[in-house]
Amino acid sequence: MDLRILADNARVAWQRRASANDFVRRLVWLYSHRLPRRLRPQAWTIGFRYPAPIGLVRLRLRSNSGADAFIHSEVFQHQHYRLPLDRAPATILDLGANIGLSAIFLARLYPDSRLACVEPIADNVRLLRHNLELNGVSAAVIAAAVDTADGVVTMARGERDYGHRIADAASPRGSLFEVPALSVPAILHRLGWSRIGLVKMDIEGHEQRLLAQNCEWLARVDALCLEYHHHRAAEELSRVADRFGFAAPRLLPGNLWLLTRPETAA
């Protein structure tokens, strides 16, 4: 064990504790992979306190080899979704919501925005609903994958709980499972939304197809924040921006790309 990393984790845990018990829970959760499996809780409910407007959050987090810890660090510690927008989006669509960490963060930043979460993995959906309720966040939850058309898609289970993705020819057969799929227009119809103020997209590589096929819905989006898992991101997103009237794409901390309308950029 690296004692310097342990000391740094302890310092941050103490700074962001909701209580002394939460400080202990957080440290044990971070290092739970070192416990014997029979002594390792499957999940922890931990309180964290951050500066306004985030404030107190309580999260149900899993002992899953650091997968939930990694997302928590990106969202709450590094605050990668504190985006340079000049006004709050009226609606937020979280595509690939996982267990709700980004949704909760965005709900605290933009408390008057309507929020919808799309997530295909059943275990994630259960925790997503639980975490939203724990934090008093009102959001529509849609248990489906997002795709270019409605139907059913085959997904491949990832080694970590944030790595599940729509399968391709190289996906191991033993990892495959099927889930319902909805297109963005179908999601908008279900929600009764005519426009999306902000799309947050983290769909493990499927974004390239989603932004290239049957993507006229992008004309109804004011801002798009996404992870882009392909090496020609700048070139491909620039084509999307030119086609649908966004300003030039910007690379933000955390390897997130942001596309905004010229009038919504800060």
| 2 confidence band (pLDDT: 50, 70, 90) | confident
Q: What is the DSSP string of 94-125?
A: EES-TTSHHHHHHHHHSTTSEEEEE---HHHH
| 36 confidence band (pLDDT: 50, 70, 90) | confident
Q: Do residues 207 and 227 touch, judged by C-beta distance below 8 A? A: yes
Q: What is the CATH number of domain 80-260?
A: 3.40.50.150
Whether the pLDDT of residue 215 is over 90: the answer is yes
**H/E run at residue 240:** helix 233-244
Q: How far apart are CA 124 and CA 120, in angstroms?
A: 8
Whether the pLDDT of residue 122 is over 90: the answer is yes
- What are the φ/ψ torsions at residue 37 (nearest 5 degrees)? -55, -40
Q: How far apart are CA 14 and CA 146, in angstroms?
A: 38
Count other C-beta atoms under 10 Å from residue 149's C-beta.
12
How wide is the angle at C-alpha 190 spanned by C-alphas 216 and 106, nearest 5°? 80
Can you read off the two tokens belonging to residue 238? 């620039």
Q: How far apart are CA 49 and CA 47, in angstroms?
A: 7
Whether the pLDDT of residue 265 is over 50: the answer is no
Q: Do residues 164 and 179 touch, judged by C-beta distance below 8 A? A: no
Q: How far is CA 10 from CA 27, 145, 202, in A?
A: 7, 37, 29
Whether the pLDDT of residue 46 is over 90: the answer is yes
pLDDT, one tens digit per residue, over 133-153 is 999 999 999 999 999 999 999
Q: Do residues 218 and 93 touch, judged by C-beta distance below 8 A? A: no
* Average per-residue pLDDT for the chain: 94
Burial string for 161-177 (b: 16+ CB within 10 Å, else e) reads bbebbbbeeebeeeeee
What is the domain partition of the chain in residue ranges?
1-63, 80-260
pLDDT, one tens digit per residue, over 63-75 is 898 899 999 999 9
Whether the pLDDT of residue 263 is over 50: the answer is yes
Per DSSP, what are the bridge partners of residue 178? 154
Q: How far is CA 191 from CA 31, 77, 145, 214, in A?
A: 40, 31, 16, 19
Burial string for 39-48 (b: 16+ CB within 10 Å, else e) reads eeeebbebbb
| 38 confidence band (pLDDT: 50, 70, 90) | confident
Whether the pLDDT of residue 1 is over 80: the answer is no
Per DSSP, what are the bridge partners of residue 118? 95, 142
% the chain with pLDDT above 70: 98
Per DSSP, what are the bridge partners of residue 223? 260
Whether the pLDDT of residue 266 is over 70: the answer is no
Whether the pLDDT of residue 62 is over 80: the answer is yes
Whether the pLDDT of residue 203 is over 90: the answer is yes
Can you read off the two tokens belonging to residue 186? 């179908």
Q: How far apart are CA 101 and CA 106, in angstroms?
A: 9
Q: How far apart are CA 74 and CA 225, in angstroms?
A: 14
